[in-house]
Amino acid sequence: MHPQIPSVGDGMHRMDAALVRCDDVARTYGSGPGAVVAVHGLDCDVPPGARIAVVGPSGSGKSTLLHLMAGLDRPTAGTVSHPGLDGADAGALARHIGVVFQGPSLLPPLTVAENVALPLRIDGVPDTEADERAQVALARLGLADLVRRLPDELSAGQAQRVAVARVLARGPRLVLADEPTGQLDRSTGRQVLAVLLGAARELGAAVVVTTHDPRIAGELDVRWYMADGRLIRPEAGDGGDDRTGHPTDQRASGGEKT
């Protein structure tokens, strides 16, 4: 059994706690004169159910931030914590946090159905149940007809939808997607994002998406802007991106969702 949601006994504060919290987080690559500070002094929260776009120019630190949030990378200063998730070990994070990458990520020798079922099997889900959950996730993303195909036999948009299905089949509480539409044409990209957001909403999962595309960013509820490794808080009155309701609070938050 892998409980996905804190039990009633955990109390309401656990239910409301941020899925990811960054406190004065920095990540520096290398050392000495050639060191690159990819992210610095970053404070942010991702509350349950939030839908956040992280926008910024190339090299501004978006991927670095996402990897830190996922626990795929460690900060060189500050702390990244997951107060709203059960357990903080790598296994728990992998179960609760699904990551979608930009490029091809499916295993070429496995069929679509096998690709989606594999992480569940690795989690210890019995084969029959893993297969069923894979089918449900694929059907939710409109891929039921493609289950026996190999990744090479898919379009880029279909392959990315399979990658999304693979993440959602595990029932994550947080989906982190790093330019999930970056290699797709605009209309396919919007379709993939729409199914990702729709399926995440059904699951009640929070979503953080990095993107260069303002239209993609516009599909999410909140936008965080990055520049030179810093999270720039939206200015008041720029379209209501800041939903924290605390104008003096320097912490970026996904804002309260109702």
Ligand X SMILES: Nc1ncnc2c1ncn2[C@@H]1O[C@H](COP(=O)(O)OP(=O)(O)OP(=O)(O)O)[C@@H](O)[C@H]1O
Where does this chain bind Mg ion (CB under 5 A)?
A: 63
Classify residue 126 as exposed, middle or buried by CB count within 10 Å of its CB (0-12, 13-18, 19+). exposed
**Residue 25, binding choice from Mg ion, ligand X, none, Cβ under 5 to 8 Å by partner class:** none
Give the residue, chosen from 47, 48, 49, 61, that forms a contact with ligand X under the rule CB under 6 A: 61
40 is an interface residue for ligand X by CB under 6 A: no
Contact partner at residue 237 from Mg ion, ligand X, none, CB < 5 to 8 Å by partner kind: none
For Mg ion, the closer CB: 63 or 135 = 63
Which phi and psi (to 5°) does residue 246 adopt? -125, 85
CA geometry: angle at 121 spanning 116 and 124, to 5°?
145
Query: Least separation, in Å, of the C-beta of 229 and ligand X?
Result: 7
Rounded to 5°, angle at Cα 40 from 63 and 234: 80
Beta carbon nearer to ligand X, 60 or 244: 60
Nearer to ligand X, 63 or 111 (CB): 63
56 binds ligand X (CB under 6 A): yes
The binder of ligand X chosen from 52, 63, 84, 135 (CB under 6 A): 63
Q: Does 38 bind ligand X (CB under 6 A)?
A: yes
Torsion of CA 39, 52, 201, 100, to 10 degrees: -40
Query: How far, CA to CA in Å, does 174 sit from each of 4, 150, 177?
Result: 11, 28, 10
Binding residue for ligand X, selected from 29, 155, 186, 227, defined by CB under 6 A = 29
What DSSP string runs through 89-134? SHHHHHHHEEEE-SS--S-TTS-HHHHHHHHHHHTT--HHHHHHHH
Residues near 122 by Cβ (< 8 Å), separated by ≥ 6? none
Give least dist CB 162 to ligand X, A. Answer: 22
Q: Is 36 in the site for ligand X (CB under 6 A)?
A: yes
**Binding interface with ligand X (CB under 6 A):** 29-30, 36, 38, 56, 58-64
